[in-house]
Structure 1
Amino acid sequence: MARYVYHCPLRWSDMDAFQHVNNARFLTLYEEARVALMFNAAKQHGLTSFAEGVVIARHEIDYLRPVDYGIGSGEGHKSPEVRIELWVHEIRNSAFVVDYELFDDGRVASRARSVLVPFDLEAKRPRRINDAERAFLEAFRE
């Protein structure tokens, strides 16, 4: 199993009044990492079906410590960033579960889980995971 690692820049708009990354923005950061895996990495493996439709059925987030906007790994003109590691926890016939850890300054700041459902946008209904998708997801299964 290999975790997918994504370095995500923080934006000024991610910050709340306390100069921490706003709790709701964690979903956006996790989304960026998930999209990079399912669209970019999958496409590099010749798989484009996830880009045709996947919906979120559930999110869970545990906040372990605040993420200060200025702490990240930014230097000079570069935006601070966090590292997100994600992996596949479970693969079902028509859904799969992705787990995440968000690291700030080398320490875990948050853990999360998402249940994703492949979706046929034309038919407007969930669909089954095909063999190529299952093989791709298995490479990231823990």
Structure 2
Amino acid sequence: MPQPDPHPEAPRPYRTEVPLRWSDMDAYGHVNNVQYLRLLEDARVIGFREWFGADKSLLDGGVVVSRHEIEYLAPLTYRPEPIEVDMWVTRTSGAGFTLGYVVRDPESLGEGVYALAETGLVLYDFRTAGPRRITEDERSVLQGHVGGPVAFRWSRR
């Protein structure tokens, strides 16, 4: 059974559905921890397409993951219905930004949470093989999706 949402009042500017795959399960009968990274990646790809538009996706310009943190709150088992992933920007810097996530059960009316997560991203210029600055247009889009920090239970911060 998923845990109650630890922070229902936190802004969640973007929500998408992500399908599970039968192969996401491991020998213990639940979605393997490694597969959560794929679920988060799928949510980012879908979200960035909507946030930035299909014709100018942030992914086209280059973005690389610098870090992940995931806190697992309840086992997630396969089902044909998709799960929901809430995604928002927790902070921005000159060349990167951080996304927060809540992986939740859509059937629980927002109460059931399987995991909390955070991903650090750096904008990357493939021509120079190095980071690039966030443009004003990109920053404006990101600012439209800002929410509070991820409320990890076991945070180092």
Q: Same fold (TM over 0.5)?
A: yes
Structure 2 residue aligned with 1:91:
92
Change (3 A) 1:2 1:138: farther
Task: Give the residue type in structure 2 aligned to 1:109.
Answer: Y
Q: How far 1:122 moved relative to its partner?
A: 1.4
Task: Give the residue type in structure 2 aligned to 1:6.
Answer: T
Residue 131 of structure 1, aligned match among 105, 121, 136: 136
Residue range with higher mean Cα deviation, 101-110 or 87-96: 101-110
Q: How far 1:102 moved relative to its partner?
A: 0.1
Residue 121 of structure 1, aligned match among 122, 126, 139: 126
On the 8 A contact 1:39/1:51 being kept in 2, the answer is no
Aligned-pair Cα RMSD in Å: 1.6
Give CA deviations for 1:31-85 in whole Å, capped at 9, x if unaligned: 00011112343115x6434422000000000000000113xxxxxxxx2211000
Structure 1 residue aligned with 2:40:
30
Separation of aligned partners in 1, 2:58 and 2:65: 16
On the 8 A contact 2:48/2:58 being kept in 1, the answer is no
2:137 is paired with a residue of what secondary structure? helix
On the 8 A contact 2:12/2:86 being kept in 1, the answer is no
Separation of aligned partners in 2, 1:108 and 1:128: 34
Give the gaps of 5 or more residues in structure 1. 71-78
Give the gaps of 5 or more residues in structure 2. 1-10, 148-157
Q: How far 1:121 moved relative to its partner?
A: 1.0
Between the two proteins, the alignment pairs up a number of residues equal to: 133
Separation of aligned partners in 2, 1:131 and 1:11: 38
Give CA deviations for 1:67-117 in whole Å, capped at 9, x if unaligned: 0113xxxxxxxx221100000000111110100000024311100001100
Separation of aligned partners in 1, 2:15 and 2:43: 8
Task: Give the residue type in structure 2 aligned to 1:66.
Answer: P
1:48 and 2:86 aligned: no
On the 8 A contact 2:99/2:119 being kept in 1, the answer is yes
What does 1:49-64 correspond to in 2, within 5 Å? Answer: 49-64=58-73
Separation of aligned partners in 2, 1:68 and 1:57: 28
1:10 is paired with a residue of what secondary structure? coil
On the 8 A contact 2:12/2:87 being kept in 1, the answer is no
